[in-house]
Amino acid sequence: MESKSPARPRTVGRGPKVRAAVHAATLAELLDKGYAGLTVEAVAQRAGVHKTTVYRRWQDREALVVDALSEHFAADIPTPDTGSIESDLRLLTQGLVDSMTGPIGQAVQVAMYSDAGRLPEIAAARRRVFADRFRRAEPVVSRAIERGELPHGTDPTQVFTTLAAPIHFRLLVTGEPVDEATADQAIRVTLAAARAGALAVVHGAEPAEPQRNPLE
């Protein structure tokens, strides 16, 4: 990502420092070359450590990628309760956008959906994070219904999906930047749709049963 890594490994110290350097190098290599092109050798060189140092701590490149991605993908978005649906959605969206901002956030997010996302541990981490995000949206929506800001029957899953979909679309499909304007627009669309009753629980719809993700 930045300058070329030196031909001869630099010394980066021991323990947590090595761990951080190897994690950063793994993410940078994932962003540059994808999971298909990632090698432990290139990670070691970029991190400035010997290959054997990497293999002493991580069994193989899978373990390395799982460790590096899981650490950075873990979400810590509190459930907002500001008294207004608009500012609650703003905080929820901000948490999502923040996790995709900057080269590391972007690399982690993209890698979670690339070939690296086929690793069972990565797929499990992705499921955990999304279950957690849907769960956090529930009280936000039920409180808005109580306050009369959203119609009865508004579905928290639909609300969160409508909020998250355009943000992921930019990140994964069009490659446009994910920024504050993206967040504003997602909130505007979600609120308009919810107020019009378009995000109500759909009766007769199939239950949203978890299916085999073709990426896994």
Looking at residue 9, the DSSP 8-state letter turns out to be P
Between 11 and 196, CB nearer to its own copies: 196
- Three-class secondary structure of residue 41 per DSSP: helix
Looking at residue 176, the DSSP 8-state letter turns out to be -
Min dist. Cβ of residue 170 to its own copies (A): 8
Asked if 58 interacts with its own copies (CB under 8 A), we say no
Number of H helices, E strands in the chain: 9, 0
- DSSP helix, strand, coil percent of the chain (3-state; round to 5): 65, 0, 35
Between 11 and 213, CB nearer to its own copies: 213
Could you give the C-alpha distances from 13 to 3, 10, 193, in angstroms and in order?
20, 9, 54
Between 81 and 184, CB nearer to its own copies: 184
Asked if 34 interacts with its own copies (CB under 8 A), we say yes
Asked if 154 interacts with its own copies (CB under 8 A), we say no
Asked if 174 interacts with its own copies (CB under 8 A), we say yes
Asked if 55 interacts with its own copies (CB under 8 A), we say no
Spacing of C-alpha 174 from chain mean position? 17
Asked if 198 interacts with its own copies (CB under 8 A), we say yes
Please identify which residue in 106, 121, 139, 151 interacts with its own copies, judged by CB under 8 A.
106
Residue closest to 63 by CA, chosen among 13, 116, 114: 116
Q: Which residues contact 23 (CB under 8 A, 6 or more apart)?
A: 67, 68, 71, 72
Asked if 125 interacts with its own copies (CB under 8 A), we say no
Please identify which residue in 7, 8, 175, 203 interacts with its own copies, judged by CB under 8 A.
175
- Residues binding its own copies (CB under 8 A): 31, 34-37, 106-107, 110, 113-115, 118, 130, 158, 161-162, 164-166, 168-169, 171-177, 179, 181, 185, 188-189, 191-193, 195-199, 202, 205-206, 208-216
